[in-house]
A and B are shown apart, each in its own frame.
Chain A
Amino acid sequence: MICTMKILLPFKSVPDPETSFSSKSGIPSSEASLSVVNPFDAIAIEEALRMKERGEEVETVCVTIGQENCVEQIRTALGMGVDRAILIQDHRNLDPYAVARILQAVVLRECPSLVLMGKQAIDNDLNQTGQMLAGLLGWPQATFVSGIEFTHGGGCARCTRETDEGSEVIQVTLPAVVTTDLRLNEPRYVSLPGLMRAKKKAVEKISLEDLQVKIQPRTVLVKTVSTPPRPAGIRVGSVDELIAKLKDEGKFFPSSHR
């Protein structure tokens, strides 16, 4: 690669999947539970760091939207090895379109050759932001990616996508938006020296006014309910009875398939 490639790494802070939190109120409280970097975004960060460690000329910049409570997740990203961070200050619970609009403004400001991010956030599993961002920018996109390789002297990225039918390999010209899937890599954890180094790295705080973006949330989170507990099983007397139950209670053979 001839010149330095800048990779923008958007990430979201999500509740730690390893801790349980109560949802008595119907809406999980983000203050009460610990937050982590969205695991899919961590995979994107890891991939960018591996590109750098392979000797590619890469500058890595992470960006997140939130308030002071995101500082720990920013330090995690910096501690993993990301070069610098941008915090877009907004306290609202934003929907994918709003996030994509904000990221669009960040992209125009930073001019990265690649936006690498998780395919979805594990808190709401929406899987839309990357696609919307690519659409807003008019950039090519590769989603559900489990392998990335630069070709044409860094002008293109050959991406392996995970699809229902199997793996699909596509080539996108850069700049592009690439969203990462689970099998791309296993992210490193932050070492203590990494955490110490992270404290010395730059964190730029930007407001939406600075970015000249006005956001009207279009989605409201009404409530969250836990999955109902699984009822006790029953014992059936014969194969016929089993098939009858499976048919009548309709859970295994949806009506359209009968």
Chain B
Amino acid sequence: MDFNWSTEQQELKRAIIKFAKKDLEQDVVILDRESTFNSEGWRKCGDFGIHGLPVPEVYGGLGQDPLTTIYALENLGYVCKDNGLLFSINAHMWTCEMPILDFGTEEQKQQYLPRLCSGELIGGNAMSEPDSGSDAYSLRTTAEKKGDKYILNGNKIFVTNGPVADIIIVFATINRELGVKGITAFIVPKNFPGVSVGRKIEKMGIRTSPMAELFFENCEVPVENRLGKEGAGSALFTHAMTWERGFILASAVGAMQRQLEICIRYAKERKQFGQAIGKFQMIGTKITDMKIRLETSRALLYKVGWLRSQGKTAIMEAAMAKLHISESWVLSCQDAIQIHGGNGYTTEYEVERELRDAMGSRLYSGTSEIQRLIIAPLMGV
């Protein structure tokens, strides 16, 4: 077993840290308070090459393997405190670019991937509906075929990047009676007639990642915009979700590393009862727990990355990584606040925001409960 990163991977890491320190280390307090998407940060990530990390060079990406990609995202998360921006980047990468790459026709790849990789186009994914969340395949949005077009009708909710996206992958059913087998995916540019964006959804955390409701009303989508075959939507969704689950929290692992370093610094500097608070065992224990959570999270993340780099699907490992990292992140965020005491409860110290951001990770890409529902049967339970 080799835990070393190659010289080139280390070089990539240093380049990312340098870039992020220069261009992404800005104050997030105001962006968070006003729920503002950092479009400049998005563009800079595009120029720097982040959005195209896992996409082959022929489609305008960098052609990095999954393990290298998560290492890059982890280090981006280590410097960039804007978890919302990172969430938007992840949604764009794993739920829009990757499905097009893996299921798109050559024309679709040529048409969309280069501009998605450069960040010129922002991608999103519309699956959840007001009445179908965890039970995703009970969706009601319909795609009725008429000649060489599909007519889409329905509502989608919690569309990450919804307000700012240009391209949305929409899941709809061609026939509700077919159940799962009727679900089909479409690449829908948001400027198509019949697509409208509803209210921007206010959230507890990752407030800088805009999320919206989308409405499709007699939206005509040409047949060439169908992604994959008719009825292939569920396979495509499972596939995209496996990518997403495995890797969406790579940046969270970086964030946990940063959080740990902040807590260690604080525990050494803050003095009470005549000594650094880190000298009190109760604080030391919390920091130890944070370190262990970080290392176990990282190990699970790398394992998924390694398996995917070997061409394996890693469904169970992806679910375990998603579950463990999200739960660990939330616990460590609570410890971080506790270590900082009253200071940690103020927005100024930027410790409380991390908890609000982390809470979402137990919900998106399948709740912690759903991850357990995926993992248990895979062990024959």
Contacts and interface: CB of A to CB of B under 8 A. Distances in A.
B14 A195 contact: no
B49 A193 contact: yes
A132 B49 CA distance: 41
Nearest to B44: A191
B166 to A, nearest CB: 21
Interface string A156-192: 0000000000000000000000000000000001111
B191 interface: no
Contact of B62 (A75, A79, A189, A192): A192
A72 B48 CA distance: 18
Contacts of B11: 72, 75, 195
A27 interface: no
Nearest to B20: A189
Given A72-B7, A72-B11, A192 B22 contact: no
Contacts of B57: 196
Interface residues of A, number: 11
Nearest to B57: A196
A94 interface: no
Given A196-B57, A196-B62, A191 B47 contact: yes
Nearest to A186: B22
A193 B117 CA distance: 11
A190 B15 CA distance: 7
A34 B72 CA distance: 19
B50 A189 contact: no
B307 interface: no
Contacts of A196: 49, 57, 62-63
Main SS of the interface on chain A? Answer: helix
Interface in B51-99: 52-53, 57, 62-63, 72
Contacts of A75: 11
Contacts of B52: 193
Nearest to A71: B7
B63 to A, nearest CB: 8
Contact of A189 (B12, B22, B53, B63): B22
B265 interface: no
Contacts of A189: 15, 18-19, 22, 48
Contact of B50 (A72, A192, A195): A192
Nearest to B17: A18
B155 to A, nearest CB: 38
Contacts of B22: 189
A195 B12 contact: yes
Nearest to B22: A189
Nearest to A196: B62
A45 to B, nearest CB: 15
Given A192-B50, A192-B53, 8 more contacts: A72-B7, A190-B18, A191-B49, A193-B49, A193-B52, A195-B12, A195-B15, A196-B63
27 contacts: A34-B14, A72-B7, A72-B11, A75-B11, A189-B15, A189-B18, A190-B15, A190-B18, A191-B19, A191-B49, A192-B12, A192-B15, A192-B16, A192-B48, A192-B49, A192-B50, A192-B53, A192-B62, A192-B72, A193-B49, A193-B62, A195-B11, A195-B12, A195-B15, A196-B49, A196-B62, A196-B63
Interface of B: 7, 11-12, 14-16, 18-19, 22, 47-50, 52-53, 57, 62-63, 72
